[in-house]
Amino acid sequence: MDAALEKRQVERAYELYAPVYDFIFDWIFAPGRAAAIKQLGLARNDSVLEVGIGTGLNLPLYPPTCRLTGIDLSQEMLDKAVERVQTLTRTNVTLKVMDATALDFADNEFDKALATYTISAVPDPVAVLREMRRVVKPGGVLVILNHFRSEGRIAGRLEDLVAPLCTRLGWKSNLALKPLLARVGLEPEVVARLNMFNGWRLVKCVNRK
């Protein structure tokens, strides 16, 4: 599929999800979000980039002492995040509409970066991870939480079969973890299975430039 067309499909999907996203996705994926932010190991004054911050469901989990920048492709989703920032009265949060494949940040700008339930929802996950790696300082931490293609033969083939439908719904069902990390030059320090049926994987990498 053409990348521009796929990007527009993702935008349309999340425009539709925005009003009901929290209701559908909050309780199911909450354990994974909490575990992902814990893996960041946030210290006072750490600068953190969250890619695909969506409606800001992760916001209450961040300590007020870190400096958080959240980006998302969907203005509709980000509008919900702005409301959440105001409700929480957080002054340490900056939100921006941005394409994660071309981040408008300098090299080595952040201490840490996070992407929860995002990598399979972008047209070019390799480009997104390369950009996350570029903007994180050497020795900094990258944490990814996502569904990845099953390593089981039957389950993996089923995920391949439903992939075209899932793409129209805004995410990839058959994104393979090991080839993805290899193409970006990242080695996992931690890989843990989380959430319902252990169907999602939490991956922590150190940016060894």
Task: Look at residue 1 and tell me whether its pLDDT is greater than 50.
Answer: no
Rounded CA-CA distance 195/123 in Å is 24
Tell me, what CATH number does 64's domain have?
3.40.50.150
Number of independent structural domains in the chain: 1
Tokens of residue 21, six digits: 């996203």
pLDDT number for residue 28 = 75
Rounded CA-CA distance 131/180 in Å is 13
Rounded CA-CA distance 192/76 in Å is 31
pTM, two decimal places = 0.84
Task: Look up tokens 């994926």; give the residue.
Answer: 29
Tokens of residue 123, six digits: 């047209």
Stretch 149-172: mean pLDDT: 64
Task: Look at residue 56 and tell me whether its pLDDT is greater than 90.
Answer: yes
For residue 50, the enclosing domain spans 3-206
59-70 confidence digits (pLDDT tens): 999 999 999 999
- At residue 20 the predicted structure's pLDDT band, cuts being 50, 70 and 90, is low
Paired with 143 in beta bridges are 114, 204
Residue 194 per-residue DSSP state: E
Stretch 45-57: mean pLDDT: 95
